[in-house]
Amino acid sequence: MRALLALLLACVLIPMSTMAGDSSPARPGTPRYTFAWPLDAPMPKPRGGVTKGAPVELDTTPSEAWRALRAENLTDFERDRRAILAMAGTYRVTFDFLEIVSYAQPDALVAPYQSWATEKIYVDEDTGRSISLVHILEMRTVEPDGSIGETLVTKHWRQDWTYEPPHIVEYVGRDRWVRRTLAPDDVKGQWLQTVYQVDESPRYASIGRWEHNASFSSWSSGETWRPLPRREWSVRDDYDVLIGTNRHTIYPTGWLQEENNLKAVLGEDGTPAHTQPYLAREYGIARYERIRGADFAAADRYYASTRVFWNAVRARWSEIFATQGMAQLRGPVDKLGLFQPLFAHAEAILEQGAEASAKTPAVIESALRDMGVVDPR
C-alpha cells in the first residue's frame, strides 16, 4: 500500500516541490521551449518527475487498431468507434505543460512541467454507443546505481465516450458539478467524453465531433471547465479553474491529447472575474507512444481484481447525479486526500479477495460522506 500511495503522490500526479520554484537557467544542452520566452531570456528548469523509467521498446509499425480504423466502407459512426478503441494498448507516456503567456505578469517565466509514465489502457466496456477506457499505470524506475526498481502499479484515470448523449455532467467551479440535459439536435453525430479522477469522482466532460483522414483521426472538444490538476495546485493558489479545449488525435503508432487552457479567476457569481479574469494561457501535450514486449502482468492483475469495485464506485456517482442533479464536494478530492480510503480498499480486495469485496458498499458510502456528497445521517 505504501508503494501505491508513494507512486500516486510522488511519481504520477504531483510535481516535485524541490523543483517548483527554481527559475535558474537549465544546464547546457537542455532542450529549449523557444516559443515561450524571448531567445535571450533565462530558461527556468522544468519541474515535475525527476525519475527515469526503465528502457522500453517502441512499436514503430502501424497497429492493428490503426489498420482497422482505416478500413474502407465504414460508416462515420463505426469509424468514430474504432478511433476511440484505438487508444487502448500499452504505452510510454510523456506529459508536457507550458505556460506560453502571463497576462497578469507579462515578464514572468513560469517553469514548464514535464513527467512520464508507462501505462496500459483497457477497454472496460463497449456497448456500441458507449465505450469506457481505464488507464492503469505500471512503472519501473532506474535507481541511482543503474538497477531497475520495484514494480509500482496504480489506477490512473478513466475516459467514457457516449454517442449522442442525453445529458452531460459539467464542472462549474469551486468543487461543484452539475448534470445538464442535452437536446438531440445539439449532439447529432457527436461524442461526449467524460473524464474521471483516479478515484472515479468526476473531473470534466465535453462534446465534440470526430474527423478522419488518411494521416490521423482527431476529436476536438468544445470549451471545457476543469479543476486545477495536482501539478498546479501543489505550486500555486492564485486562480480557480482551467478553461480550455481538448483534442485527441489518433495516428499509426499512438495518440496525442492536446490541451489549450486559460487559467481563470472566478468572481463571486462563479464566472470569470471582471477585473482580472485570466492570469495566463498554457499548452499541454500528453504523448502516448505504443510500446511492445513490456510486462504489464501486475497491471493486468490489479485491473482484473479491482474492476468490479471501481465500476461500483462509478455507478454510485451516476446514481447521485441522476437523483440529485449535482454534487458539491467539500474540497478537492486529491488535495484533501479523500481518495485514500477507496485506494486502500482496492488494495485490500487485491490481497484478500471476496472477504474485502463484501465491505464495498459500506466503504463507498463512507468515502462519499467524507467528500460531502451524500447526507452524513
Structural domain includes residue 373: no
Contact criterion met (CB below 8 Å) for 124 and 304: no
Helices (H), the chain: 2-6, 17-20, 64-69, 76-85, 230-233, 297-324, 340-352, 354-357, 360-371
Task: With cut-offs at 50, 70 and 90, classify the pLDDT of residue 127.
Answer: very high
Q: What is the per-residue pLDDT for 368?
A: 93
Dump pLDDT digits (tens) for 326-337: 999 988 888 778
Structural domain includes residue 108: yes
Dump pLDDT digits (tens) for 193-247: 999 999 999 999 999 999 999 999 999 999 999 999 999 998 899 999 999 999 9
Structural domain includes residue 343: no
User: Into how many domains does the chain fold?
Assistant: 1
pTM (whole model) above 0.75: yes
Mean pLDDT of 148-174: 95
Structural domain includes residue 283: yes
C-alpha span between 226 and 198 (Å, rounded)? 15
Task: With cut-offs at 50, 70 and 90, classify the pLDDT of residue 13.
Answer: very low
Structural domain includes residue 303: no
Q: What is the per-residue pLDDT for 375?
A: 62
Which residues are paired to 255 by β-bridges? 250, 288
Structural domain includes residue 80: yes
Dump pLDDT digits (tens) for 340-372: 999 999 999 999 999 999 999 999 999 999 998
Structural domain includes residue 28: yes
Dump pLDDT digits (tens) for 294-319: 999 999 999 999 999 999 999 999 99
Q: What is the per-residue pLDDT for 29?
A: 52
Dump pLDDT digits (tens) for 18-52: 223 333 444 555 555 567 667 777 777 888 877 88
Q: What is the per-residue pLDDT for 10?
A: 39
Contact criterion met (CB below 8 Å) for 317 and 170: no
Q: What is the per-residue pLDDT for 227?
A: 96
Q: What is the per-residue pLDDT for 343?
A: 94
Structural domain includes residue 308: no
Mean pLDDT of 90-112: 89
Dump pLDDT digits (tens) for 233-270: 988 999 999 999 999 999 999 999 999 999 999 999 99
CA-angle at 51, arms to 13 and 60, nearest 5°: 90
Q: What is the per-residue pLDDT for 309?
A: 96
pLDDT at 1 over 70: no
C-alpha span between 100 and 196 (Å, rounded)? 27
The mean pLDDT of the chain is 89
pLDDT at 284 over 80: yes
Provide the residue range defining the domain that includes 74. Answer: 2-294
Dump pLDDT digits (tens) for 55-83: 999 999 999 999 999 999 999 999 999 99
pLDDT at 144 over 90: no
